[in-house]
Amino acid sequence: MSEVPADGSGEEHRPKLDTSVPHSARIWNYFLGGKDHFTVDRELGQQIRQAYPGIVDIARQSRGFLGRAVRHLAGEAGIRQFLDIGTGLPTADNTHQVAQRVAPESRIVYVDNDPLVLVHANALLTSSPPGVTDYIEADVREPDKILRAASKTLDFDRPVALMLLGIMGQVLDDDEAYGIVRHLMDALPSGSHLVFEDGTKVVAPEAADEAERIRAEGGDPYRLRTPEQFARFFDGLTLLEPGVVSVSRWRPEPSQFGEAPEVDALCGVARKP
């Protein structure tokens, strides 16, 4: 596949890479031990880690949840199409790699608004021969743009897994956030799934509050929602077992060390009736 965005926008329409402003995708890459971040991202990331050391565990456990959820959907659920919004920078076991190991014919569309992700899009666009991967440069607040561009790669008459992992906290207004998810799911057929994960503050509320304050003051505000607010994103959908849980507790792999401790990130996978 080409590295040109699926929406057909040319170089002149792409957002410029601003290294003076922190970006969530690059801060998350820093937490995961990656190398794709700038001084401004590291500085804010270090402040967050000092206030809330548990954020590193959240980042790692969230990646583990992604892998388990995609393996289930591509395997037991038979899903062959994935729309991953808020992709972030490529790491190990990205959505297309996990899905296409199970079902090589899987089709994946990635969406992100960080120009640096586009620089690395070649890593995301490496698809198994029977399958397809594509990349859209867009913001989650542009659901119509995303759906139009994704329809060039995905067949919206067949089930799609909509993946929103660690992204909706960037939409600070609750009504707007619920409306975006509902709009996206309304465009997908019966049998589609919502894979959703985001931060909360029930395990270490004081540290999470401080991290939330630091992010807002640092120019990268992020809304941490309560479990009740989080659960509303699944209204009208059928939650798969075990329901809404910590990312570390969603169908974890067997471990000799017992059940993994909870972290301040909730997740769930739900099917559209």
**Token pair belonging to 225:** 């929602």
pLDDT of res. 38: 80
238-239 vs 193-199, strand pairing mode: unpaired
Residue with tokens 């402003």: 21
- Radius of gyration in angstroms for the set of CA atoms belonging to the chain, rounded to a whole number: 17
In angstroms, the CA 28 to CA 11 distance is 26
List average pLDDT for each run of 10 residues in the chain, which is 273 residues long: 40 56 73 73 80 80 94 98 87 87 96 79 75 93 98 98 96 98 98 97 92 87 96 98 97 81 96 98
Identity (one letter) of the amino acid at 159? Answer: P
pLDDT of res. 117: 74
152: Cβ–Cβ under 8 A, 6 or more apart, which residues? 6, 134
Q: Are 165 and 134 in contact (CB under 8 A)?
A: no
58: Cβ–Cβ under 8 A, 6 or more apart, which residues? 31, 199, 247, 263, 264, 265
In angstroms, the CA 214 to CA 210 distance is 6
Assign 3-state DSSP to the chain and report helix, strand, coil percentages, each to 5. Answer: 40, 15, 45
Q: What are phi and psi of 266, to 5 degrees?
A: -100, 160
Identity (one letter) of the amino acid at 12? Answer: E
Q: Are 198 and 169 in contact (CB under 8 A)?
A: yes
Eight-class DSSP state of 197 = E
What is the pTM (predicted TM-score) of this model? 0.84
pLDDT of res. 145: 98
**Token pair belonging to 265:** 């990130």
Instruction: Count CB atoms within 10 A of the CB of residue 19.
Output: 14
Strand partners, 74: none
